[in-house]
Structure 1
């Protein structure tokens, strides 16, 4: 038997199309923001994205990994958001800008999905627990580092936790109730009182 011809007659795996992959990841976040995470199934998702569930598995392995990678592409550069802070007023301004970005700006769609993932991560042995823990730790850690540069902030890690958890709760309130004015006032009050 000619092993050389057998070896070369095997089908080769198709290389990943990185542009298509990026397009899929972006579309996944929009799809879940519109339809929700609870009943997410690969076949309807694939159909809406103009591909097959087999291709989604090929690119991402599992439904959960697909969502985790999609959210990772939408994660803001938190280091840049909280870099070069020199006083409490600058930090309050950055936090307010970040709030606005996550409620009415570029981050609004991914925040809607992120809140659903964080809720699902609360279930014991949930598939998103690792991602959620990492996302929270990154946000709290980055904000803590920014707060440490200000001499006026006591217990930076506690203040960062208060801000991250508090603003996330107010965001969830806003998405559930649709009350923009009250939640904006609450976010502003939290930022102003936490960062003096």
Structure 2
């Protein structure tokens, strides 16, 4: 008889996986070195998560903010700009920066044919775009909320990737501000 899952241990492993991938990358991720770093065995990781890909998908799911709540109560353009800037700041530092770094690696890997991450990446993008589009619908001057949400999410993701690669904080912050301001400008 199989022993029951230790949910606290499982949650601890998921958080450690995100940190490990942020530090070591996704491209060469192998279970044995990951397990050794986490103080467990590859067999235990498979026991908890079934596959390496499922382990990563579940780890990322624990890091995803409640994006629907983030943009749910937007009442005007100024509040939207503030919320987007807060979102940018949260994803460029600390734990949010670690999660964003891993997410960008997964999105890149999802571009490969037959990627095990395509469903996760497609879902993550859809959740972000639909939640932001819903927040944009309340602003009169946004005539195509889905297009504006796509521009903001994809644009900020590209600027974030630039920042992670180049380390240029000032330029990327200015670019993020400009993208947010120009996309939301004129909204009432």
TM-score by length of 2: 0.97
Q: Compute the displacement of 1:106 (Å).
A: 3.5
The answer as to 2:63 corresponding to 1:50 is no
Q: Compute the displacement of 1:105 (Å).
A: 4.0
The equivalences for 1:1-196 within 5 A come to: 12-196=1-185
- Count of aligned pairs: 185
Based on CA coordinates, which of the two structures has the bigger radius of gyration?
1
Higher RCO, 1 vs 2 (CA within 8 Å, ≥6 residues apart): 2
Q: Structure 1, unaligned stretches of length 5 or more?
A: 1-11
Q: Runs in 1 of length 4+ with deviation above 2 angstroms?
A: none
Aligned with 1:106: secondary structure?
Answer: helix
Q: Distance in 1 between matches of 2:94 and 2:180?
A: 19
